[in-house]
Structure 1
Amino acid sequence: MNDISEEQILLGIYMVCEKIMLPSAVFRGHENEKTNVLTLLKRTIEFGESNSALIIGPRGSGKTTLVRHALRELRQAPSFDAQALVVRLDGRVHTDDHLALKQITRQLGLEAAVGDKVFRSFAENLTFLLECLKSGGRDTSKCVLFILEEFDLFCGHHNQTLLYNLFDVAQSAQAPVCVLGLTVRLDVVELLEKRVKSRFSHRQVFVLPPADKRAGLASRLGLLGDLLALPDDDGGVRLFDPVFLHCWNGSARQLAGDPEVRRVCKALCDVDESEAAFRTFLTQVVSKLSPQHPFLQASDFTEVYELISRDPLVNLLTGLSLVEICLVISMYHHTDIYDGEPLNFEMVLHRYMKFVSQNPSAEMAQRPVLLKAFEHLQKLEVVVPLVSGGREVLKEFQLHRFLATPDQVKRAVKMMDARLPTDVQQWALSSNH
């Protein structure tokens, strides 16, 4: 491998990062659900049949990806742009019906047609927009595909006017429209007002993780192999040296079968089954690649997993200075002795000074330095002040609650062992307070 250029390695890393961070291409799983959505959209486009449906599934399960791929497949037909328009709304952005209507007008390209017209109601405005899309009879009207992300948030709009009118148009066939709502809420239909619910078709497409965990893990490992593999060529142009390509792709296949990598992938799936979370994890793993480390190893997966699964408070404690960790140990011992009772700076200082007096090798920090360190721990919310009841209290005597557990303190000290003096480590792990 010594004769492989640095440019080849960097290009390989770049292409793998691009595949991971810019998902394009292959739609995985939920083929039946995609077929159902595709059929619904086709009936609206090809036959002018109005429809409505909800796509329901956990966050990151692939609802948006499913719709995106269905639309991509439909756009392959040359007549798509002449027959249909797509309007995308998001409940997190379009927080009221006025904003939503402005966005519908903009995406339909009808700002000029609306001009300075004044409409008596939302329904009249929407009807005018849809009428503008007609070029002759019903059969020659352009259909509109409404995609409503975070559908449940639209249910909070005043009187649910937007939903009522969209579903009313779909039900009464005033114009060919298809309304697809995407949501994480299983009870979303119960959020609809009675008059809105009566106009909804009650079609629901569920995008759920695989019930068989083994199938889910196998799919995840297959995705891992696909994302890490490099192509033989790009449009007939050979990009990589055959030896380098063989070694790289062989390493990717080996990783997908490695027991430690399988263990990490299973642990990730148990916490979050979404592909987006897995890609985020892989991005961190691939960041370890370099010309000096051109192939991933199982230890890279383990190291990143241990880092992201680590307790955030333990992570915070491991970044403290020696003085600050000594104060944390003092707090830990104080709360352990007094069964979780509140503490103040003077109490912590007393316990710290007792430790220093019993350990001649320990260096005593000055009181102002210790007070500053205590205030920094308060800013980090390792300790939080209790309400003083309106009385003025000197900051040294202000009572605080210590938020770290004994286990968190001990784990942090063990992780900092190379940076801490032996007597501090022994003090933290001892039961002799």
Structure 2
Amino acid sequence: MQSVTSQAVVIGISSRLDADQLLEKRVRSRFSHRKILFLPPSKEEVDSLLEHLLSLPTDSSFPSGYVSQFNEKIKNITSDTRFKDMLRTFLNANSTVNSLLKFIFRAVSSMNLESGLLSLETFKAALSSMQRQPKLEAVRADCSILELYLLVCMRRLEVKEQSLYNFISVMKEYKTIHDSFQTSDHYAQNVCLRAFEHLREREVICYAENRGQSQTGEYRPMKLLILASELHQGMRSHACCP
């Protein structure tokens, strides 16, 4: 802090790069900022870490034939495009080393004991168990076409770096989509509001803050509670998605 008589160090950790800019100006001016950025591991680092963690050492106590077979199986799995797509989906949601270790641990824990080998299905099961299934199932089974439109509109607003949005701004985005693509799926605003409330009841979206409770629901800031990858996956597997 900028004081000779009383000095202090405040250490904060955040996933937002602009965390210090969220402070009030008079508070921010009291600090001399120092930032240390920890970037997620690169693709090459992830590949190297996977090979190191999954491969058996040649000087292990296991029979040499089994070690060679196990390592060859791992090499085939990690070079498979389906595994790479699966890994990319997982890292898009959480790219920390700790989450990658949990993913590998779950895969190894469910390894076929008869063959003693890992398989692509083993990693698929591990990925499925780590994904937030309740939200994904809500999109797959419980969302109507209109509700999917509203979720996509909210996601589009987030991509445009609009951190705060409400029902009114979502409806403007919905109108933009309708006018751009000339879709036949056009609903009245009161119908959209009921769909919006249903999404909130299903806890797919929620109010962004507790303030503004005196405002009507249309004007209160909202936020998504579902990841972009989950929304995409849910829409792909939705039976009625256009």
Task: Give TM-score scaled by structure 1 length.
Answer: 0.29
Task: Give TM-score scaled by structure 2 length.
Answer: 0.47
Relative to total residues, which structure has the larger strand share, 1 or 2?
1
Larger of the two Rg values belongs to structure: 1
